[in-house]
Amino acid sequence: MLMTTLPEWLSDNRGTTALAAMLSPASSQSIETLAAESRAITLRRFGRTMTLYAPLYLSNYCSSGCAYCGFASDRKTPRHRLEPDEIRRELGAMKKLGISDILLLTGERTAAADFDYLQRSVAIAAEEMPRVSVEAFPMSVSEYRALADCGCTGITIYQETYNRERYETLHRWGPKKDFIARLETPARALEGGIKTVGLGVLLGLSDPVEDALSLYRHVRHLGRTYWRAGMTVSFPRMRPQTGGYEPPFPVDDHLLARIIFAFRIALPDTELVLSTRESANFRDGMAGLGITRMSIESRTTVGGYCESENEESKERTDKGQFEISDNRSAKEFCAALRRQNIEPVFKNWELSYNGPSSNIKLAM
């Protein structure tokens, strides 16, 4: 099945020796040493601040069969899609919480939630929020261009795992099954004028150290090829969810922390992201030590923000894409950051910077 050869950058070893040395749990560098270095770099480059964003699930229709996902097309999960007036209501509820930086999510491309639907949703969101990013399905360069023209500045697209065989086993059917097509998606987004791409691996699916090294290669490859590219790196880790999938390569807190510190040291200027998948204890601990961007008030169900304004929401039985571990309100979460001398930053962007980027691909 391995018809197409892998891109050369996946075996580019510039910088990986030093990173591998830090990533190995058997490393001579103690986690405490890495933490101190990571903290110092973060403080110098990003200061005592944490940029905040919140996800908005537009739709949980999905055409793919990701073995680990609660929204895979064979799950019995009830399917919803937010209509324009519902999106506006959700945005209104989010704005009341102070949120001005959002990530719009859908499943893989379906008739119910296709490109036109996504584009309309982005346009609605961009009327309300200065910063709108999208985590949806891979698109063409011209589709990305159209989203950028509507005010979308960022795309999140995780490779999930860079191990091709594992990837093809885990993605049982649907468009996501094509490993190479997925691998090339961030480059297409940048060529389409999207300013920032968010990369990541879903920790737990495959050998975490190997995946982290490939993720680093991907970041460096994109940075060299598209010199204007903004990049963020996330560290999502498998948690229990609807499908009951047990991650075959579980990553414990120590290893996750080590990976984050190593990335901060290896990529001192790159925003590193940690979501509410992680516990309050882990998030509070990692704030200031390397992470510079966090999600807040996450609802991983479709329509979750308005529901939580109503009392009966507590009765809701729908499960989200994954379970939130840090359930604190924005207020509680910000108070915890402030106790650590870190300023939560809700608005760190300006509408006037939302024009498409003029990325030109450089031959490597």
Partner 1 sequence: MDSLQIGSYTFSSRLILGTGKFSNSTVMLEAVRASGTQLVTVALRRFNREQAEDDLFGPLSAIEGITLMPNTSGASTAAEAVRAAHIARELSGSPFIKVEIHPNPQHLMPDPIETYEACRILAQEGFLVMPYIAADPVLAKRLEEVGCASVMPLGSAIGSGQGLATSEMLNIIIRESGIPVIVDAGLRSPSEAAHAMEMGCEAVLVNSAVAAASNPPAMAEAFAEAVAAGRKGFRAGLMQKSGSAVATSPLTSFLGTC
Q: Which residues of the chain form contacts with partner 1 (CB under 8 A)? A: 43-49, 95, 98, 100, 130, 195-196, 223, 227-231, 267, 269-270, 338, 341-350, 352-353, 355, 357-358
What's the closest the beta carbon of residue 47 comes to partner 1, in angstroms?
A: 2
Q: What's at 273, amino acid-wise?
A: V
Partners of 201 in the β-ladder: 160
What's the closest the beta carbon of residue 347 comes to partner 1, in angstroms?
A: 4
CA dihedral 217, 222, 228, 233 (to 10 degrees): -60
CA-nearest of 306, 296, 255 to 274 is: 296
Q: What's at 301, amino acid-wise?
A: T
Torsion angles phi and psi, residue 135, rounded to 5 = -125, 100
CA-nearest of 247, 241, 122, 260 to 192 is: 122
In the complex with partner 1, which residue's Cβ is closer, 124 or 209? Answer: 124
In the complex with partner 1, which residue's Cβ is closer, 223 or 247? Answer: 223
What's the closest the beta carbon of residue 294 comes to partner 1, in angstroms?
A: 15
In the complex with partner 1, which residue's Cβ is closer, 163 or 270? Answer: 270
Provide the 10 A C-beta neighbour count for residue 262: 27
What's the closest the beta carbon of residue 305 comes to partner 1, in angstroms?
A: 17
In the complex with partner 1, which residue's Cβ is closer, 9 or 349? Answer: 349
Partners of 197 in the β-ladder: 155, 231
Answer yes or no: are the C-beta atoms of 56 and 300 closer than 8 Å.
no
CA-nearest of 361, 7, 3, 1 to 188 is: 361
Answer yes or no: are the C-beta atoms of 186 and 157 closer than 8 Å.
yes
In the complex with partner 1, which residue's Cβ is closer, 95 or 239? Answer: 95
In the complex with partner 1, which residue's Cβ is closer, 191 or 307? Answer: 191
In the complex with partner 1, which residue's Cβ is closer, 154 or 174? Answer: 154
The C-alpha atoms of residue 23 and residue 15 are separated, in whole angstroms, by 13
CA-nearest of 93, 171, 88 to 137 is: 171
CA-nearest of 85, 97, 68, 153 to 303 is: 85
What's the closest the beta carbon of residue 268 comes to partner 1, in angstroms?
A: 9
Beta-carbon contacts of residue 213 (< 8 Å; ≥ 6 apart): 16, 19, 20, 23
What's the closest the beta carbon of residue 227 comes to partner 1, in angstroms?
A: 6
What's the closest the beta carbon of residue 290 comes to partner 1, in angstroms?
A: 15
In the complex with partner 1, which residue's Cβ is closer, 220 or 237? Answer: 220
What's the closest the beta carbon of residue 152 comes to partner 1, in angstroms?
A: 15
Answer yes or no: are the C-beta atoms of 186 and 194 closer than 8 Å.
no
Partners of 102 in the β-ladder: 54, 132
CA-nearest of 161, 265, 213 to 13 is: 213
What's the closest the beta carbon of residue 137 comes to partner 1, in angstroms?
A: 25
The C-alpha atoms of residue 251 and residue 233 are separated, in whole angstroms, by 17
In the complex with partner 1, which residue's Cβ is closer, 254 or 331? Answer: 331
